[in-house]
Structure 1
Amino acid sequence: MTGNSGFQLRRGGPKVYEASWVHAQMGRAAEDLVATADVVPGDRVIDIGCGTGVVARVAAARTGSAADVTGTDVSAEMVKAAARFAAEAGYPEIAWLECDATAIPLPDAAFDVGLCQQSLQFMPDKPTAMAEMARVIKPGGRLALSVWKTRSPIGAAFSTVLDREFGDGTTAPWDMVYSLGDRDSLHDLAAGAGLKDVHVAFDVKFARHPDSTAFITAAIAGSPIAETMAELPAAEHDRLIQEIVEELADFHDDDGLAVPAECLTLRARK
């Protein structure tokens, strides 16, 4: 995550996120985002708010040169984890930088492509962050970013079960995840940053996992309520996990969990 939003991964941190969300949803979404930016060999690419680095890894595969890819995140823990995961995936040359998205310590016009997957909504100063994204892209360069549009059934299931258990408003801070799901707001931010040829597309990204209980357990372990859940007796913890799974009973196919999430993807040119 990026910025000083306070919305950070908790127990298990990057390892849990990579094993749960990246495996189930964000890896495929990263492929979509990199394709939207039309990344090609020879492009220099920056992944802003890189988290565990899945977008940077996908971009490295597309460019054919990991040394042409840079990932940035405000979290030192995430940057370290991203570097580790990239090395394990065969991309040790990706550059990693700990910095706030509103103050990227890199030169103007250093990159052909800027990418930002599901991070802008967490940045307190979104206009400045967008301006920085535009600044580090070359004239004629491309930007592609994505944000969630609305609360997904997974978010709704968390809210139903956890607010009932721990009190109304327990999951209200998680609404930040969907706080930028407005097409006009994205257009305004892009215009304010001086971007052109702006296009915002609506689509649906699926979270897919063969074991819904394992996925929800991991997702909770990486959530803001992780500590509270970890303090519960095992039987109570498992009961809540199963209640969340039951709330998602309609979102399965023959391969397991299959939950849609509405997404907005912006593409633009410098």
Structure 2
Amino acid sequence: MDWGKGSYEPTAADLLPAARELVTAANIQPGEHVVDVGAGTGNVALLAADLGARVTAVEPAARLREVIAETALDRDLTVVDGEAASIPLPDSSADVILSNFAVIFAPDPAAAFTELARVAKPTGRILLTTWQPGVLSKLVGVLIAALREVTGGVDMGTPFNWHEPNALSELLAPHGFTVSGRTLDLDIVTASATEYWDTRIATHPLGIETLPILENAGRLEEVRNRVLGMINDDWTTSTGQVRLKAQYLLATAVR
């Protein structure tokens, strides 16, 4: 999926509080080399650079790389094309590797963690955020289920449990890392359920990729109504404002 399609910016704004938590937990020191994997619009990379770090933002989407470059200004921030399983940096070159809800999209988790471990210094640390099952997985699940029905999608097997520290430990332990984690809350607020659909689903890169398929199959209106109904029933206040309280894991891996 091309994360540069559509408009990822509203979602990036939603994730900024989690980016702040991630950067704070990393205890970044001036002069450290920080690598932001799946940098998106640069939330984490910019925050790390403002702490005096030398930052490399790794982002596969060309448009988002341009967004980061335009906002970097005079910060010590380099933007490169790459992804979790293919980072264009030397071995043992990063003091800190961060990923804010990005590594979780790696198709091969083991390959991704092998690459993160390769780039991390022997004393380096890896911190990432991953969604806990809950409100967002329910909403996305409606789209995914409809897509599988329409396309006859193949069974992808058991998904990796990104939200479980033990699962992360199984892949990072062979590289000498010990993993710890804590669960935090993130509030996602929009003015209405319709605004959430329009700005967080319909124009989100995932929506740009998937909604035309549902539309061609005559299923889009049904899916939209189901999603709006869930939001209105479960996460809309008496004033009509939507407040989704999502939970996520902030995981830290150290050698």
TM-score range, shorter-chain basis?
A: 0.7 to 0.9
| CA RMSD across the alignment | 3.5
Question: What TM-score results when the alignment is normalised by the length of structure 1?
Answer: 0.75
Percent of aligned positions with the same letter in both sequences? Answer: 25
User: Is residue 2:240 matched to residue 1:251?
Assistant: no
CA contact (8 A) 2:8 2:205 kept: no
CA deviations over 1:42-65 (Å, ceiling 9, x no partner): 32211012122211112122x235
Give, in whole Å, the separation in 1 of the partners of 2:229 and 2:156.
Answer: 21
User: Is residue 2:218 matched to residue 1:266?
Assistant: no
Describe the SS at the equivalent of 2:229: helix
Describe the SS at the equivalent of 2:86: coil
Question: What TM-score results when the alignment is normalised by the length of structure 2?
Answer: 0.79
Aligned positions of 1:69-218 closer than 5 A: 69-84=55-70, 86-87=71-72, 90=73, 93-150=76-133, 152-160=134-142, 168=149, 179-196=161-178, 198-218=179-199
Give, in whole Å, the separation in 2 of the partners of 1:167 and 1:125.
Answer: 21
CA contact (8 A) 1:56 1:69 kept: yes
List gaps (5 residues or longer) in structure 1. 1-6
- 2:37 aligned residue: 48
Post-superposition offset of 1:168: 3.7
List gaps (5 residues or longer) in structure 2. none
Give, in whole Å, the separation in 1 of the partners of 2:254 and 2:62.
Answer: 30
Post-superposition offset of 1:171: 11
CA contact (8 A) 2:96 2:124 kept: yes
Residues 76 and 161 from structure 1, CA distance in 2 versus in 1: closer, same or farther, beyond 3 angstroms?
A: closer
Post-superposition offset of 1:22: 1.5
One-letter amino acid matched to 1:21: T
Count residues in correspondence: 248
Residues 128 and 158 from structure 1, CA distance in 2 versus in 1: closer, same or farther, beyond 3 angstroms?
A: closer
Residues 69 and 130 from structure 1, CA distance in 2 versus in 1: closer, same or farther, beyond 3 angstroms?
A: same
One-letter amino acid matched to 1:219: R
One-letter amino acid matched to 1:23: A
One-letter amino acid matched to 2:56: T
One-letter amino acid matched to 2:163: G
Give, in whole Å, the separation in 2 of the partners of 1:44 and 1:93.
Answer: 10
